[in-house]
Chain A
């Protein structure tokens, strides 16, 4: 953690009491987020054991009525609450510290409070067994109004970091005219622009269809339109999870490794490409739906393949960044540099290990993204296998890794045990890999996702899924290892918050890049603008790129909605649990 907060003259250092208020707010986002993960991931292994044929739900009767109730809680708490809180904290806090500008605290607190209310509502709706609709809540299954209004509040709160970021950036631009936005702020801004445009889908679905429908103001909804609106947001949401993890990899990790980021400009290009390609491709989640023409599916395949491009650029940049740090630390030979990385640092270990799982997770995404291959794996356990190897490892482990330096940074308390933190990272890596490989393999045997297969009579279970018993056993074993990982992690997380030794709070590990210094305002004196790379400058007009992305998104959705709106099918709601 070699970064020091020496600021250039143009940027004022916020007063200590203001800084303390920002830290407290960030800590609140972090603690609520990880508490949601404690509940959501805590019941995850119950779902894993279901697939290995162990039905633990009857033993939990007073709290959980069914596997489907547990699965709803698992998806909502992990996918929406955990990620939204951690992300909406980080994407305001890190840019504020990078720029040395105080964020709009009212808006930031507003985001927190609105999302907290939303979380309360969805928790009430899920625990009273009224809304076992799973986290995708496809109608005509119908949950309670609390569920949909809670999600509406969560969605609304999650969009508020954007105006905060825009305010901070324009204040910074006034002080440093003509300069390129520092990297972390730039990445945070592109992430939020992408997210706020994409939420149009789910917010339209919730406000126009689900909210009034759940209240009884309207009696029917169109399930096909609902699904399409959902996936308009549902694919970009995976980038809303992933991009903040990339912020850590590009913007911070090189410093933690004791090296330098291989390329700042490629990081910017990566984010702009994700902004452009993530918005129009949501309907590839609907490859199995009737109503889409084959030509349309072909276009979606092309767009989906394009999404792999920015991730493959990241693979190169991260590989080079790791290699430089490893060689600087004395690593020799073809792979010696990898061994020489600072593996004793739990924050580094968690993030580098998560990159390894992303190799399988990303490759399986290419399978799901091509229509014909998707026909084999669609809605089998292959799909959750894929996203547990991406969001469940890359995002969860990177956020855990960030928590390992954020807690000392925010509270001035050291981690209570470095070894236990390392154990959490390794166990999560091993557990999630075992689980993910088991899920993907079982999916190839046609084992459906989201099915309470352990409640089937033994004979039926054996007839349908007997051929997949080895991968299904791996799923259960992976789940149990993940339980051990969670125990280690939460002892460190809450233990350090409450009982950590008092130390001097370390600074945020902002990294520095090779090459021209277009980034990291706190680290450098004002540099004339001709020193910045032409690629970084081309990425700078964020509104232009947002416009391009929005236009492509509109072009890809207008034909779909045009035909769906002319052939509405209106379904009444069903409560089926």
Chain B
């Protein structure tokens, strides 16, 4: 009546071995995923400040603060070896000019958009933040090596999206030492 009885002996052997191995496989998969999940969660806990809660909302779309105190695209010292750079993304530029930051300092980018969505990606780093009009996103990074990095827009923003790239120049922490090399 059932398919069990209609199997040949070799089919039955294959089927029974398969059932056994299936249990082992499911067990292995569950262990694997549990371990992966624990590792992933651990990293979430360790660097949870990678992209923190939105830094807040902008009073007017495209404006960082009501008094516009902080200039765009300039590193402002906010603590010992800590700087903040505010950026208002616009079609199709990130900042008025190259952004200078210091090697080894904690740089916090505050990013918003004046028009559509933009994607704040700094090539060669793990900085990746969506620029949303009306919201300020925060992302912190320490540039370990001096040199020129590029902000590349990675969220489609219209006809010249591909041209929306601007340089971040990481100045050496000790220029004399650099020059002596």
Q: Report A's interface with B, CB cutoff 8 A.
A: 66, 68, 132, 134, 138, 140-141, 223-224, 227, 260, 262-263, 266, 286-294, 297-298, 301-302, 305-306, 308-309, 312-313, 316-317, 320, 324, 327, 366, 370-372, 374-376, 378-380, 445-446, 448-453, 455-456, 460, 463-464, 512-517, 524-525, 527-528, 531, 567, 569-571, 574, 576-577
Contacts and interface: CB of A to CB of B under 8 A. Distances in A.
Contacts of A308: 33
A138 B154 CA distance: 13
When A and B form their complex, which 5 residue pairs have the shortest distance between CB atoms, in order from nearest?
Answer: A569-B134, A576-B158, A290-B137, A446-B123, A290-B54
Q: Could you say which of A68, A293, A463, A576 has the most chain B C-beta atoms within 10 Å of its C-beta?
A: A576
Query: Interface SS of chain B: helix, strand, loop or mixed?
Result: mixed
A511 B105 CA distance: 63
B22 A571 contact: no
B3 A515 contact: yes
Interface string B91-117: 100000000000000000000000111
Nearest to B110: A290
A512 B4 CA distance: 12
Q: Could you say which of A448, A449, A525 has the most chain B C-beta atoms within 10 Å of its C-beta?
A: A448
Contact of B156 (A134, A306, A531, A569): A134
Interface string B8-25: 000100110011011001
A300 B26 CA distance: 22
Given A140-B116, A289-B132, A309-B29, A297 B44 contact: yes
B51 A260 contact: no
B36 interface: yes
B142 to A, nearest CB: 15
A464 B18 contact: no
A446 B136 contact: no
B150 interface: yes
Nearest to A286: B130
Contact of B152 (A141, A301, A316, A446): A446
B115 to A, nearest CB: 5
B22 A316 contact: yes
B67 to A, nearest CB: 20
B40 A289 contact: no
Contact of B4 (A141, A289, A515): A515
B82 to A, nearest CB: 20
A504 to B, nearest CB: 27
Contacts of A376: 126, 128
Contacts of A569: 57-58, 61, 132-135
A358 to B, nearest CB: 16
Given A223-B132, A450-B156, A576-B116, A372 B33 contact: no
Given A301-B40, A309-B33, A262 B117 contact: no
A302 B165 contact: no
Interface residues of B, number: 70
A574 B1 contact: no
Given A289-B132, A513-B3, A375 B154 contact: no
B145 interface: no
Given A448-B121, A464-B150, A313 B29 contact: yes
B144 interface: no
A68 to B, nearest CB: 7
A299 B137 CA distance: 20
A567 B2 CA distance: 61
B70 interface: no
Contacts of B91: 574, 576
A515 B3 CA distance: 6
B30 A309 contact: yes
A497 B69 CA distance: 69
A452 B51 CA distance: 28
A224 B132 contact: yes
Contacts of A371: 40, 43-44, 50
B37 A313 contact: no
B71 interface: no
B153 A448 contact: yes
Given A263-B18, A290-B136, A376-B128, A305 B57 contact: no
Contacts of B117: 138, 140-141, 223, 227
Contacts of A227: 117
Contact of A306 (B33, B45, B58): B33
A514 B7 contact: yes
A370 B40 contact: yes
A562 to B, nearest CB: 14
B29 A312 contact: yes
A577 to B, nearest CB: 4
Given A305-B36, A525-B1, 12 more contacts: A66-B159, A138-B116, A138-B117, A223-B117, A262-B15, A291-B137, A308-B33, A309-B30, A372-B47, A378-B119, A379-B154, A569-B135
A320 B20 CA distance: 12
Contact of B50 (A262, A305, A372, A452): A372
B106 to A, nearest CB: 17
Contacts of B127: 375
Contacts of B132: 223-224, 289-291, 569
